[in-house]
Amino acid sequence: MPPPSNRSDQPPASPGAGATVDQWLAYLEAIHPTEIDLGLDRVLVVMRRLFRRKPQARIITVAGTNGKGSAVGATEALLRAAGRRVGAYTSPHLQRYNERVRLNGDDISDDALVRAFEAVEAARGSVSLTYFEFGTLAAFVAFADSGLDDWVLEVGLGGRLDAVNVLDADFAILTSVDIDHVAFLGDNREVIGFEKAGVLRPGIPAVYADTDPPRSVLQQAAAQKIRLAMLGRDYQLSSEPQSGSGFPEVILDYENQPVRLPAGPLPVKSMAAAVVAVRQLEPGLSVSAIEQVLGSLSVPGRFERLGSSPDVYLDVGHNPHAAEWLAGQLNSLKSSGRRVHAVYGALADKDVEGVGKAMAGVVDAWYLSSLKLPRGLSAHDLQARLANAGIADASAFESVGEALESALSACSPEDIVVVFGSFFTVAEGREILLR
């Protein structure tokens, strides 16, 4: 994760020849007056200078409140199994910016990333771009330079006005619509659904990965004659207990051809949506190949297991909807005498109370970490806000490292430790656990 920027009024000088990725990222942080500035006008100007026409690649755009990263990862892996050359763009990153841009399964190299940054800088002239906008265009440049067949693009925020949406999608996946980023997207699902459905284009196929789309999504799909496949109507998920595992086995039934999906590490609805998408895009990919790919798939920071005795999991769930899913996963692993120790850190604009209520039934001990960032909450602020959710007994720490150390010291080998919340929280915990 990049730190929130500390911009000055004086625009910085562009990095010169031989600049490193870190120097370029510092420059990107400083060239626009605000961190988030939704709108496509600026990006379109630079996009048209970089590309005279739409790239020849097939564009798959993934939007939604939660589960986007998992849907991108599954779609990318399945398309590659079908023999396609695939680029994947995701955000934010955990350890290195290069994670955001994958070229046929590999993180982009520093040299290729710098070349892409240089191309965007040369094209933008006096046009001001945000960190995300600049990076999005750089990803497009890198994908085009690599001659990839498919570009799988994760929307950063919303959809309609997100920089990713300057490219017309050939296929769209909407993972979910719930309340998050209220200051930018609105405070109800209908308004948020309208923003996220802004990635749709007339006549294209699309998937909605849940059973309760807002009316605003259905209205836009109908108005644009979208061929929308929807969970519960066009495809079904069913589960049954699986011996030897705390997780059930999930069966996807689409076009009368069942596919067995792993229900543990990744949101099964996101994986199912990816399967439905790829079955349309690459109908020749066999069920056995799909099951093999998804059986070994993992996405960093998404219910990622990085320790045993005790089991340690990392998850970037930072809103109530994501926390409900995480609580369900933990509950599947919990047994008599097995306690869950939660290390939690959050940004100030998140629904901490809603997250606390979603997790309260499964967490036995809380270890709250301060996030020393402009938008980060202190551990004591977290304590106060969780108290409003009925969680009164939570310990406060100055860093994720201190909170994690205390959690590991307090638990038994049979217990579970989960580090969750903001990407900043998970990034810090992940770095410690991977040392």
Which pLDDT tens digit goes with each residue over 183-210? 667 778 999 999 999 999 999 999 999 9
Reference 162, options 133, 128, 138; nearest CA is 133
pLDDT digits (tens, 9 = 90+) for 51-89: 999 999 999 999 999 999 999 999 999 999 999 999 999
* The CA-based dihedral angle spanning residues 430, 70, 98, 278, taken in that order and rounded to the nearest 10 degrees: 160
CA 173 to chain centre: 13
Look at residue 153 and give its three-state secondary structure. strand
pLDDT average, residue stretch 304-328:
94
* Segments of the chain assigned to CATH 3.90.190.20: 304-433
pLDDT number for residue 242: 63
Architecture of domain 304-433: Alpha-Beta Complex (3.90)
Amino acid making up residue 240: E
Q: Enter the pTM of the model.
A: 0.92
| Helix-then-strand count for the chain, H and E | 15, 17
Could you report the per-residue pLDDT of 85-118, keeping only the tens digit for each? Answer: 999 999 999 999 999 999 999 999 999 999 999 9
Rg, the chain, Cα only: 21
Architecture in CATH of 21-295 = 3-Layer(aba) Sandwich (3.40)
Helix (H) or strand (E) holding 323: helix 320-333
In which residue ranges of the chain is CATH 3.40.1190.10 found?
Answer: 21-295
